Structures are given as C-alpha cells and as structure tokens.
C-alpha cells in the first residue's frame, strides 16, 4: 500500500504541538535510514516514525478518557503517568482516523514507549529511532548512534537499558511490562 505522506503530515500537524511534530519528522528520517540498513521496508518505517507520537500532545485527562473509549485497560502505573498511554492510544487513532491498517506500523506505534516481549525488527527500529533521532541530546547517545546501523538487537538493548536507568534516576515508577522486556533481553543475552 502506498501512503499520501503530505496528507498524513497535514493531519499529524493538527494533532501535535510544533515540538512534537518536528521530533516526529526527525524520527521518521532516522527510522527510514535504519530500515535501509537492516533490510526493512523504508517507506513503511518512515510512516511509522512519522506517526509514532500521534497521541503525544494530548492531555493526561484526554489520554485516560480515550483509553476508556477504546476499552484499553489502564494499570496503576499508567494511571499515575498517563503519558505512557500515548503509544497504545496513538496506535488506535492512527488506525481509526488515518485508516492506516498495516499491522507492523500499528504495532510499532503501540510498542514504542514501554516496549513488549514480542518486538520484531520493525518495532525495534521505531523504538530506537525515537530515542536517537538527531534532536535528542543526552549522555550516552553517542554510543547508541554509533551502533544504530550495525547491530539492531544490541542498539535496542542499550536504548532500553538507557530508558530504564533514566526511570530509576528520576525515581519514576516502572511499568510491569518493562521488567518483563528487560528480563527477556538479559536471558537472551545469557543464552
């Protein structure tokens, strides 16, 4: 399926504050470059990168009420930090408002914040592109950017570790799925 990128960008612009819109454009570019490096559909990765934060500019109240509308179960961590819901809700809205039906695109949007134990190449690309896009500035990014086009599993693991450490340093709650994903990564590494 081919997508009308200009019309998607127009709709995205109406949904997002300028800062989030610019971040989405940069994430799309990074996702496309990574897709090319790892033999994944570049055009699709661009669209997923573009749309990954579709629900990012919504207020906490709106996110919680959208979750209710879509019948998405909200756990106590998500209730305390409703922004976590922007991934799952964004996925549902992209499907219903933009008629994007591609399962890989939808799943990668839903998985881009907390992750999931069922992440494939495509999901990992979107997850990492979001973290390393050129507008991001924080310590440790150099390493991630250096390996981002060489070893997808490694860069994903490092990006995930980075997010987890950030949560701990900021004294934030950790979503139960995060623990599951992390344990799976460590078990896989240890064979």
Binding residues for Fe ion, per CB under 5 A?
A: 53, 130
Residue 86 Cβ vs Fe ion, minimum distance, rounded to whole Å: 6
Residue 190 Cβ vs Fe ion, minimum distance, rounded to whole Å: 30
Integer Cα distance of 64 and 12 in angstroms? 20
Residue 49 Cβ vs Fe ion, minimum distance, rounded to whole Å: 9
Q: Which of 135, 143, 139, 185 is nearest to 160 (CA)?
A: 185
Return the number of the residue (137 or 187) whose C-beta is nearest Fe ion. Answer: 137
Residue 65 Cβ vs Fe ion, minimum distance, rounded to whole Å: 19
Return the number of the residue (53 or 158) whose C-beta is nearest Fe ion. Answer: 53
* Residue pointed to by tokens 């809205």: 93
| In contact, 104 and 125? CB cutoff 8 Å | no
Residue 113 Cβ vs Fe ion, minimum distance, rounded to whole Å: 5
Q: Helix, strand, or coil here: 68? A: helix
Return the number of the residue (25 or 161) whose C-beta is nearest Fe ion. Answer: 25
Return the number of the residue (130 or 158) whose C-beta is nearest Fe ion. Answer: 130
| In contact, 108 and 122? CB cutoff 8 Å | yes
Q: What angle do CA 72, 94, 64 make, to 5 degrees?
A: 35
Return the number of the residue (121 or 136) whose C-beta is nearest Fe ion. Answer: 136
Integer Cα distance of 133 and 142 in angstroms? 11
| In contact, 147 and 162? CB cutoff 8 Å | no
Residue 124 Cβ vs Fe ion, minimum distance, rounded to whole Å: 15
Q: Which of 134, 121, 117 is nearest to 188 (CA)?
A: 117
Return the number of the residue (87 or 185) whose C-beta is nearest Fe ion. Answer: 87
């Amino acid at each position: 399926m081919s997508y009308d990128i200009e019309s998607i960008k127009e709709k995205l612009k109406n949904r997002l504050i300028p800062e989030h819109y610019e971040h989405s454009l940069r994430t799309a570019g990074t996702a496309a470059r990574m897709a090319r490096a790892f033999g994944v559909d570049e055009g699709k990765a661009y669209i997923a990168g573009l749309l990954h934060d579709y629900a990012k500019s919504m207020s906490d109240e709106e996110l919680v009420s959208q979750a209710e509308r879509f019948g998405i179960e909200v756990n106590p961590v998500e209730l305390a930090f409703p922004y976590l819901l922007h991934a799952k809700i964004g996925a549902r809205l992209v499907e219903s408002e933009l008629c994007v039906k591609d399962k890989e695109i939808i799943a990668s949007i839903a998985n881009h914040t907390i992750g999931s134990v069922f992440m494939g190449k495509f999901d990992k690309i979107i997850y990492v592109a979001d973290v390393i896009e050129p507008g991001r500035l924080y310590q440790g990014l150099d390493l991630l950017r250096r390996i981002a086009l060489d070893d997808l599993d490694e860069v994903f693991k490092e990006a995930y570790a980075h997010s987890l450490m950030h949560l701990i340093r900021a004294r934030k709650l950790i979503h139960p799925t995060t623990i599951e994903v992390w344990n799976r990564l460590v078990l896989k590494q240890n064979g």
